[in-house]
Amino acid sequence: MRLASLGAVAALVGLGFTAPAQAAAVIPGVDEIVSSPNIRQIANVPKTGAFAPESALNSDLAFQGKYAYAGNYNGFTVYDVSNPAAPQAITQLVCPGGQNDLSIYGNLLFTATDSVRNNDSCSSVAVPNSEPETVPRWEGIRIWDISDPRNPQYVKSVHTTCGSHTLTLVPGKGKEKKKAVYVYVSSYNTSSSSLPNCALPHDKISIVKVPLKKPAEAAIAATPVLFEDGGFPGDSNSTATSGCHDITAYPEKDLAAGACMGDGVLFDISNPVAPKVVTTVRDAENFAFWHSATFNNNATKIVFTDELGGGGGATCNPTIGPDKGADAVYDIKGKGKKAKLVFQSYFKIPRENASTENCVAHNGSLIPVPGRDIIVQAWYQGGISVWDFTDSKKPKEIAYWERGPLSNERLIVGGAWSAYWYNGHIYSNDIQKGFDVLKIDDRRLGKAAKKKSWQINPQTQTSYSKW
């Protein structure tokens, strides 16, 4: 590390020291690791086999017990993380299909396919859009039985319009709570041309009902149109709304937050098969693409992310500035149908990245610190940032960790796709470098380091208020 040694700053960290931002002009060397003094890497498992190529991007994470499930464009890996300092890959399942965004419910694993395939099998091949519409096509979600994490079994696929870029789980309500789970399938079309299986307008989501005892009977239960007015029409700065990129559900609050391309959305999900738009917000000046969302624990705030440049551009630099490609913190004012989203502030990592580094706000989760709003978040090659938004108007970073660029010669898409808190550690799936485990030592996190098995799917939030 370039900063002072851990021993020299340990006392400051224990007192709640906030590490200074790295000087804007100082960019780490290729593969060099830099961080604030209160966070460190304790493990890395490189990509291997079919997941090793540069084109095989690591993606999202989900957790269950002592296992972490890590998506990759070519399938998924299961890690035993019972010893966070020495995670072991116990299964690598090859099944190509877009992002393979994933979530877990009980013994079921759900993966998202946003790549047009010639069938739903793991031996399928991609079908170019140029192929005639008569050519068989499939994209949507796959369901797996993970009763034995070392040997996942393919149960069922469900075809959905425009595929499944991401997916979100919402448990059934009332009598259905133990009988079914619903899968909110987010997908979109950024093209004005006619695409097979994804014609415009696409102002809806697909909702798949999965009977827990008979998951092979999973089927589409509803395809509600969310934007009857067509949503944001788009302009020179912001993407038009034609579906949602990601939805984060908070079932115990009957709420969901949608990042829907040109719109930030608050939903009422008291009826899981009929989500209702409560209110929407737009930011045509600074938000290019509403990408994801995270509630605070009390569901009084939402952090929305903007994926400027589609995640493939160098946007963490003085030319782009501090507001574009940033997070936006909104307070939820009012209750029920009268609730509104009120903008409070932007947050962007206070470090400059190289022109060969893709860097923008990406996936993160809360750290369970009662009484405070603290989030850990991935920023692609901007690394991993831990920041506090307890004061909505004055968010501040309290820790960071990052690698230097993958190359000084060309931009290689890489960096932390997702960074989540689980069982006292930060787990990250790096697009190129593999599976990372970090440990943060900061007294502001209180008892969070001792919290066990809190959140399985970051896109299906659960409360830690009673902890």
pLDDT tens string 362-393: 999 999 998 999 999 999 999 999 999 999 99
* Beta pairing partners, 144: 109, 154
For the chain, the domain total comes to 1
Q: Which residue has the higher pLDDT, 407 or 18?
A: 407
> How much of the chain exceeds pLDDT 90, in percent?
83
pLDDT for 222-231, tens place per residue? 999 999 889 9
Distance, CA of 142 to CA of 76 (rounded, Å): 12
Q: Which residue has the higher pLDDT, 464 or 69?
A: 69
Among 285, 305, 453, 458, which residue's Cα sits nearest to residue 389?
Answer: 305
b/e for 266-283, b at 16 or more Cβ within 10 A? Answer: bbbbeebeebebbbbbeb
Report yes or no on 32 lying in a domain.
no
Rounded to the nearest integer, the mean pLDDT of the chain is 92
* Contact predicate 424/81, CB 8 Å: no
pLDDT for 293-302, tens place per residue? 999 999 999 9
Distance of CA 96 to the CA centre of its chain: 19
Backbone φ and ψ for 273, nearest 5 degrees, come out as: -95, 0
- Residue 121, pLDDT above cutoff 70: yes
Report yes or no on 254 lying in a domain.
yes
Report yes or no on 37 lying in a domain.
no
- So what's the pLDDT on residue 4? 31
For 426-431, what is the mean pLDDT? 98
* Contact predicate 215/143, CB 8 Å: yes
- So what's the pLDDT on residue 465? 72
Amino acid code (one letter) for 357: E
b/e for 18-36, b at 16 or more Cβ within 10 A? Answer: bbeebeeeebbeeeebbbb
pLDDT for 191-209, tens place per residue? 767 788 898 889 999 999 9
Across the beta sheet with 33-35, the strand order is 33-35, 396-403, 384-388, 374-378, 364-367
- Residue 20, pLDDT above cutoff 60: no
**Where residue 454 falls among pLDDT bands split at 50, 70, 90?**
low
Burial of 234 (0-12, 13-18, 19+ CB in 10 A): middle
Print the domain residue range for 178: 95-284
**Where residue 448 falls among pLDDT bands split at 50, 70, 90?**
confident
3-state SS of the chain? CCCCCHHHHHHHHHCCCCCCCCCCCCCCCCCCEEECCCEEEEEEECCCHHHCCCCCCEEEEEEECCEEEEEECCEEEEEECCCCCCCEEEEEEECCCCCCCEEEECCEEEEEEEEEECCCCCCCCECCCCCCCCCCCEEEEEEEECCCCCCCEEEEEEECCCCCCEEEEEECCHHHCCCEEEEEEECECCCCCCCCCCCCCCCECEEEEEECCCHHHCEEEECCECCCCCCCCCCCCCCCCCECCEEEEEHHHCEEEEEEECEEEEEECCCCCCCEEEEEECCCCCCCCEEEEEECCCCCEEEEEECHHHHCCECCCCCCCCCCCCEEEEEEECCHHHCEEEEEEEECCCCCCCCCCCECCCEEEEECCCCCCEEEEEEEECCEEEEECCCCCCCEEEEEEEECCCCCCCCCCCCEEEEEEECCEEEEEECCCEEEEEEECCHHHHHHHHCCCCCCCCCECCCCCCC
Distance, CA of 185 to CA of 247 (rounded, Å): 9
- So what's the pLDDT on residue 213? 96
Report yes or no on 240 lying in a domain.
yes
Among 185, 183, 181, which residue's Cα sits nearest to residue 213?
Answer: 181
Distance, CA of 226 to CA of 219 (rounded, Å): 20
Report yes or no on 346 lying in a domain.
no
Among 5-19, 73-87, 217-231, 444-458, the minimum mean pLDDT is found in 5-19
**Where residue 455 falls among pLDDT bands split at 50, 70, 90?**
low
> What pTM was estimated for this model as a whole?
0.93
Report yes or no on 272 lying in a domain.
yes
Distance, CA of 325 to CA of 18 (rounded, Å): 24
Among 9-13, 147-151, 267-271, 407-411, the minimum mean pLDDT is found in 9-13
- So what's the pLDDT on residue 1? 29
Among 260, 292, 287, 283, which residue's Cα sits nearest to residue 189?
Answer: 260
pLDDT for 323-336, tens place per residue? 999 999 999 999 99
Among 402, 412, 386, 461, which residue's Cα sits nearest to residue 436?
Answer: 402
Residue given tokens 């100082």 in the structure block: 26
Report yes or no on 414 lying in a domain.
no
- So what's the pLDDT on residue 129? 80
Amino acid code (one letter) for 210: V
- Residue 13, pLDDT above cutoff 60: no
Amino acid code (one letter) for 32: E
Q: What residues contact 330, with CB distance under 8 A and at least 6 apart?
A: 264, 281, 301, 302, 303, 304, 341, 342, 343, 344
Among 172, 202, 167, which residue's Cα sits nearest to residue 185?
Answer: 167
- So what's the pLDDT on residue 383? 98
- Residue 429, pLDDT above cutoff 90: yes
**Where residue 25 falls among pLDDT bands split at 50, 70, 90?**
low
CB atoms within 10 A of CB 176: 16
CA separation, residue 16 to residues 195, 216, 399 (Å): 53, 51, 11
Q: Which two tokens stand for residue 342?
A: 């009120």
